Amino acid sequence: MPVATIGVFALQGDVREHLRVLTSLGARAIGVRRASELAACDAFVIPGGESTTMIKLARTFDLVDPLRERIAAGMPTFGTCAGMILLADRIEGGTSDQETIGGLDVTVRRNAFGRQVDSFEDDLDFHGIEGPVHAVFIRAPWVEEAGDGVEVLARVEHGPAVGRIVAVRQGPLMATSFHPEVGGGDRIHRLFIDLIRQS
């Protein structure tokens, strides 16, 4: 019996990787491009990609408002990298006209760690997961500021950005600035599925 129908934003980004991990965990994972497909979902994943392109495509395909409504109504949603940017209520380092879907009471800085050549990997202490979590950061954001209701799940452990917030949760919403779908494990996706069950 599938744990849930989990939609993955499928207009741009690491769609296949998320679908593969979620399916391996027993979820019914589907790519979502239209509001009618979103309506069939119990939960949602916004993958890594290019946040400005993703929001423009979501607007073109009439997904922005339905997504905002479902998230406001409590649909569990998980954003990774660009997905974290799209779930943030506030952005620093974005374009002047950049909009988000919102829902997370955080300020996120785009490309906080630098350009593509500054991509890196780190092992993180992740709240709710036993043992270190291997994290792959690619042109990643970080959380500049988190509201009172936001739980910090992980911070950078090493290097010049040590202490920066890179994973958060607020109610049924979860976000990481790194790419757990390419990090070689499924523990963070398992945590999201637990969050869906709790919701």
Domain span at residue 17 reads 5-198
- Compute and round to an integer the Cα radius of gyration of the chain: 15
DSSP 26: T
Q: List pLDDT tens digits, range 31-60.
A: 999 999 999 999 999 999 999 999 999 999
Which member of 17, 18, 41, 179 is catalytic? 179
Question: Which pTM does this prediction carry?
Answer: 0.94
Q: Which stretches within 33-166 are classed as H helix?
A: 35-38, 51-60, 64-72, 82-87
Instruction: Tell me the CATH number at 159.
Output: 3.40.50.880
Number of domains present in the structure of the chain = 1
Which member of 17, 18, 81, 189 is catalytic? 81
For residue 1, the model assigns a pLDDT of 43
70-101 as b/e, with b when 16 or more CB fall inside 10 Å?
bbeeebbbbbbbbbbbbbbebbeebeeeeebb
For residue 110, the model assigns a pLDDT of 87
Task: For residue 17, indicate whether it is catalytic.
Answer: no
51, 85 contact by CB (below 8 A): yes
Q: What is the pLDDT along the chain (199 residues), one digit of tens a residue?
A: 456 899 999 999 889 999 999 999 999 999 999 999 999 999 999 999 999 999 999 999 999 999 999 999 999 999 999 999 999 999 987 777 789 999 999 999 987 876 654 578 889 999 999 999 999 888 889 999 999 999 999 999 887 788 999 999 999 999 999 999 886 689 999 999 999 998 8
Task: For residue 81, indicate whether it is catalytic.
Answer: yes
